[in-house]
């Protein structure tokens, strides 16, 4: 439902961002070993909506267009799951259900925290437990699992690093985007006339 999404493509620098994040993930995976529980088919982080930015949305939309060229049936299943999800979520969506942009008022975080916590990501194949747009997945998906620092401190998936001390977890901290390239690319998209604000996966995959 995001307006003009068919015309918006991620900027060329997005490929550089993905390479940087992938390299950081490979390094933290090496350091973490078996303490990092993330594996194909582990879908706990795929249940419940999560915020994505407009760079993520453009990348997902491009990924769906690419999938239609090589596997139209699978792409159609993704689109159908996204449409069904939007149909379920629109009534209580904590934002604009037409544009798909989430609210940014002071109560926005509280409203989103209680929103659709059992709704699966439409990109998740329910039969295989795999992501149908894995190569185009949002940054949140790319960095979820390893220890990543935020305003709340050092966060880590509850399934990972079980029994490890804070020091051991901190030794495996992932710094996914040290030079702030993602923010620069977002500003670049906005200057090109792109949508502003955050959304969720289901809404960005449904055409206007």
pLDDT in tens, 140-184: 999 998 999 887 788 889 899 999 999 999 999 999 999 999 999
What was the pLDDT predicted at 88? 96
The domain segmentation of the chain, as residue ranges, is: 5-28+39-204
Q: Which residue numbers in the chain have pLDDT < 70?
A: 1-7, 207-208
133/31 Cα distance (integer angstroms) = 27
Residue 6 Cα distances to 28, 59, 80, 167, angstroms: 35, 11, 17, 46
DSSP letters for 61-115: HHHHHHHHHH-HHHHHHHHHHHHHHHHHHGGG-SB-TTT-PBP-STTHHHHHHTS
The answer to whether residues 5 and 61 touch, using CB atoms and an 8 Å cutoff, is yes
Look at residues 19, 36, 6 and name the one whose alpha carbon lies nearest to residue 135.
19
């Amino acid at each position: 439902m995001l307006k003009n999404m068919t015309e918006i493509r991620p900027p060329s620098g997005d490929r550089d961002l993905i390479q940087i994040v992938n390299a950081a993930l490979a390094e933290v995976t090496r350091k973490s070993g078996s303490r990092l529980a993330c594996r194909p088919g582990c879908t706990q982080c795929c249940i419940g909506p999560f915020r994505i930015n407009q760079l993520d949305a453009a990348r997902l939309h491009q990924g769906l267009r690419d999938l239609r060229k090589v596997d139209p049936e699978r792409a159609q299943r993704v689109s159908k799951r996204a449409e069904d999800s939007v149909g379920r979520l629109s009534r209580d969506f904590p934002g604009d259900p037409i544009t798909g942009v989430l609210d940014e008022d002071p109560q926005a975080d509280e409203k989103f925290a209680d929103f659709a916590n059992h709704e699966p990501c439409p990109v998740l194949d329910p039969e295989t437990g795999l992501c149908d747009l894995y190569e185009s997945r949002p940054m949140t998906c790319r960095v979820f699992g390893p220890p990543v620092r935020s305003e709340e401190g050092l966060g880590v998936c509850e399934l990972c690093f079980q029994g490890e001390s804070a020091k051991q977890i901190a030794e495996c901290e992932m710094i996914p985007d040290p030079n702030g390239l993602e923010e620069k690319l977002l500003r670049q998209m906005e200057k090109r006339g792109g949508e502003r604000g955050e959304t969720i996966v289901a809404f960005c995959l449904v055409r206007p």
